Chains A and B, each alone.
Chain A
């Protein structure tokens, strides 16, 4: 038991690692601030393209979504970070992560928005168009506000996944929360810094998960 505490919940080691881990946390926050709005926006574009009157665009979007739902985000990230330099495109870890996440998240958020848009009866579009609103205006002012509200739990759920995914940035040596904690672990040969990182993720995401559960129950009822 003592060994377990020493190796996983060593307060001294946690305290020593705290400054590093804190910097990592700030990087994770920064990363979230970059990738969540990007993904929400990209997804919106994907979903709008899905309703476009041009068949070629709709097909492109379907292929796009399927590809990025099928490729693991880590594969995408490594391809962009380690593969693109061979094409002369060298990206910072932060840029590589942002691009990989934009591609991946746009597909996921896009599918969620699409489901939301499809959940709105076509009478809404007709009523809006009959008053002279253009298709884009009807989408913006009538369909999307309702669609987003209908899929709010799914958007939130995916956002939790995005926050969790930022931990992948550690693989390309971006010093975010997990990377920093793992650095501290490799120096101390002690797992406590990672436990600390886990606790931080929990502290951030557990309340959100709880809130989501309640939201889902309320909207489902």
Chain B
């Protein structure tokens, strides 16, 4: 075999690809499921936290700030291993899927809260005063006046952060979640061929390149709001 043929055989072996494509396809479904769940629950958590924080109850805010800092500072893989291998020792057993979902939800929730809060702070004080002067209550002002502006402003940074965190679903492979990377590494060790890894890389590109592009589009669309 020429070096080129050897290269093609190692990374683009048609037989191996055909054989393991269904498994990796299953992995694609799991990756997407996990990603969608994380995005929904993570952003919901961040939103919930920022609403709580807006009420500015000192002890509650302190807890939120600590929560956010901790999850910004901890590598998600540490949390995943801790939950997956630690919890069974106190008789709580979560599946790998649940552990990854929970971890990434907490991480995204923390980042989302931080980003939303920056948005809330950037809304001018006059907006609060104007809204309150028309007789709107605190909660009404928050929900109808402040948050809509704050959330709009935070769309670009939030999009980027969400993409970065969602890509961490690949960490699931470490705790046996049958997502793309997991299926691919399994296939690679069975077949003794790197082609499944190539397919995995392409699968991730197919899923995330459009997301990155969407993110970029959103960024330019919302850019003028930064003012």
Contact = CB atoms under 8 A, between A and B. Distances in A.
Direct contact of A and B (CB under 8 A): yes
A191 B82 contact: yes
A72 B168 contact: yes
Contacts of B79: 198
A208 B77 CA distance: 19
Contacts of A75: 170, 180-181, 197, 200-201, 204
B58 interface: no
Nearest to B114: A213
B209 A7 contact: no
A215 interface: no
A172 B193 CA distance: 18
A198 B82 contact: yes
Interface stretch (B40-48, B83-91, B131-139): B83-91
A161 B76 CA distance: 10
Contacts of A79: 194, 197-198, 200-201
Contacts of B86: 7-8, 191, 194-195
A67 B208 CA distance: 9
Given A72-B204, A185-B85, A191-B85, A78 B212 contact: no
Contacts of A67: 205, 209
Interface in A86-121: 86-87
Contact of B81 (A70, A82, A182, A217): A182
Interface stretch (A38-46, A132-140, A163-171): A163-171
A87 B81 contact: no
A189 interface: yes
Interface stretch (B17-25, B67-75, B140-148): B67-75
Contacts, number: 143
A203 B30 CA distance: 35
Interface in A180-197: 182, 185, 189-191, 194-195, 197
Interface residues of A, number: 51
Contacts of B74: 164, 198, 201-202, 205
Contacts of A194: 78, 81-82, 85-86
A92 to B, nearest CB: 18
B14 interface: no
A69 B164 CA distance: 8
B55 to A, nearest CB: 20
Interface string A1-14: 00110011000000
Contacts of B149: none
Contacts of A197: 78
Given A67-B209, A79-B201, A82-B185, A74 B173 contact: yes
Nearest to A76: B201
In order of increasing CB-CB distance, the 10 nearest A-B pairs are A191-B86, A70-B208, A205-B73, A86-B10, A72-B170, A164-B75, A167-B75, A86-B194, A72-B167, A7-B89
Given A3-B89, A194-B85, A202-B70, 9 more contacts: A71-B167, A71-B201, A71-B208, A72-B181, A83-B198, A87-B10, A191-B89, A195-B82, A205-B72
